[in-house]
Amino acid sequence: MSNPYRLWEIQQRSNTGPYCDEDDFLPKIFTPKLKGIIKKYEIKYDPERLIPVDDDLADRVWQAGWELFREVGLYNTDTHRIIKVSDEEIKEALYMASDRYWVGAGKDAVLWKHRRVEDTEPPFCLFSPDCTCSEELHYSMCLAFLKEPLLDGFCAPILENSIGLKIRSASPFEINGCTQHIYNLRLAARQVGRPGVFLVAVGTAEHDSGQIAVSNNEWGVRTTDARIIGTLTEFKTADTMLNRVVHCCQYGCYSGNLTGPIYGGWCGGSEGIAVALVAYSLNGLCIYGSIFNQHFPFHLNWGSNTTRELLWPIASAGQAMARNSKLLYTSNGFSNAGPMTEMVFYETACHALVSTVTGWHLWEMASARNKYRNRATPLEARIGMEVGHAAARQGMTRDKANEIALKLLVRYEDRAADAPMGKEYQECYDVATALPTQEHFDMYRRVKDELSDMGIEFPY
């Protein structure tokens, strides 16, 4: 079942909910409430313990996230109203939610299921370069990612130009770019023999008009695919987002709720990020009607989430949701380093390991903090997915994963602020064949051997 929760009753609250000036919402409502909840539930970050094994802490993080969502709701910047949901409604939505969905089509359809803490079922692997891409490289990059055997779903790079013209949001150029994006993606999937593969599309659409324009089962985004609908940081939405919510529900495709709580911003520190991740997931279920939540918490200064102050809330929130809900949620990695550096491989492996053993599915990898055009390749994502599969298959415990993660942190954590940018896709891959260069593959293989020596039992 993937019906939205009380679609129009919830949407109407954009017009009838409590009025609030936008400048007051975060400093006067959100942050004070979050601080009080963290204190009430005694949530405390431990920098020496990346992966907590305290189940009671996980349950308190769940309760805190629930209370935060119920108390602050979701602010609509267009109507200046707060959409609020009651305890009873949250319980009803959680009861009605499914713990599994078939996504994709035909022989390429995949069953996506809720995971538990220390689950021996491998995570669902959503590959994504999470970067902008030159028009002339877009198709090759799609091919390269879609060739990856562990890929369960794919979100393609974002076009900046289409037919040589700059894409401008909410303009005809955006609709044109979105059309080119999905055509490239669908053709690449067919050429590699995966025509029904699950797609999360299209990232080129910044505005609702671009997203709606490519809804078409014949040539565009299908009802077996998904869209990502963002929640504005922190806990805000807008009519352009809610338009997409209604469109996805009525068109019949899946949707995911995209959130990026900021460490060092209105959420405060690690404790606030953990609580916010749970609250955002309830928002995705109750207000956006999404079947999954995609979370990329990140550091205000660095723009990454592979250092300990972000890994701890990822581990804590993952366990909170795994123990107390049936929800699906993906952990979206943001590394400091760029492609063809050992550092990006270490970062991705650590992020994937921590996420996997604490109940998450994987969305890898935003290399070089996703700030630079063409700086992503499938190999850094591949190593993360292989770590996820290995950790699950061997039944790795939180204690063992914590031990390995701390060893990995030593190799890169002190370089977070000045991480190497690495190289662009066309320097790491043969554009014509969409295959990695020997230099790039050899580096990946060396790091994988190191990970094996640390105790990750790769099946191949």
pLDDT tens digits, one per residue of 431-446? 999 999 999 999 999 9
In a domain, 110, yes or no: yes
In a domain, 32, yes or no: no
Mean pLDDT, the chain, rounded, equals 97
In a domain, 44, yes or no: no
Q: Is the pLDDT of residue 333 over 70?
A: yes
Lowest mean pLDDT among 97-111, 166-180, 269-283, 305-319: 166-180
Residue range 22-32: average pLDDT?
Answer: 98
In a domain, 303, yes or no: yes
Quick check: bond before 365 cis, omega within 30? yes
User: Which pLDDT value is given to residue 170?
Assistant: 86
Confidence band for 1, pLDDT divided at 50, 70 and 90: very low
The residues near 106 (Cβ < 8 Å, ≥ 6 apart) are 195, 196
The residues near 447 (Cβ < 8 Å, ≥ 6 apart) are 342, 345, 346, 349, 383
User: Which pLDDT value is given to residue 3?
Assistant: 74
Q: Is the pLDDT of residue 4 over 90?
A: no
| CATH number for 339 | 3.20.20.460
**Per-residue CA distances from 4 to 11, 61, 278, 344, 403 (Å):** 11, 25, 19, 38, 41
Query: Ramachandran region of residue 430, left (φ > 0), alpha (ψ -120 to 50) or beta?
Result: beta
User: Which pLDDT value is given to residue 2?
Assistant: 60
Contact in structure between 306 and 298 (CB atoms under 8 Å): no
Residue range 148-167: average pLDDT?
Answer: 94
In a domain, 56, yes or no: no
Contact in structure between 140 and 354 (CB atoms under 8 Å): no
How many separate domains does the chain show?
1
Confidence band for 460, pLDDT divided at 50, 70 and 90: very high
pTM of the model: 0.97
In a domain, 293, yes or no: yes
In a domain, 40, yes or no: no
Residue range 184-205: average pLDDT?
Answer: 96
Q: Which domain holds residue 151?
A: 100-454
In a domain, 192, yes or no: yes
Q: Is the pLDDT of residue 398 over 60?
A: yes
Q: What is the CA radius of gyration of the chain?
A: 21
- Measured CA to CA, the distance from residue 4 to residue 427 in angstroms comes to 44
Listed residue (363, 316, 365, 313) closest to 339, CA to CA: 365
Confidence band for 309, pLDDT divided at 50, 70 and 90: very high
User: Which pLDDT value is given to residue 306?
Assistant: 98
- Measured CA to CA, the distance from residue 32 to residue 270 in angstroms comes to 16
Listed residue (33, 101, 81) closest to 287, CA to CA: 81
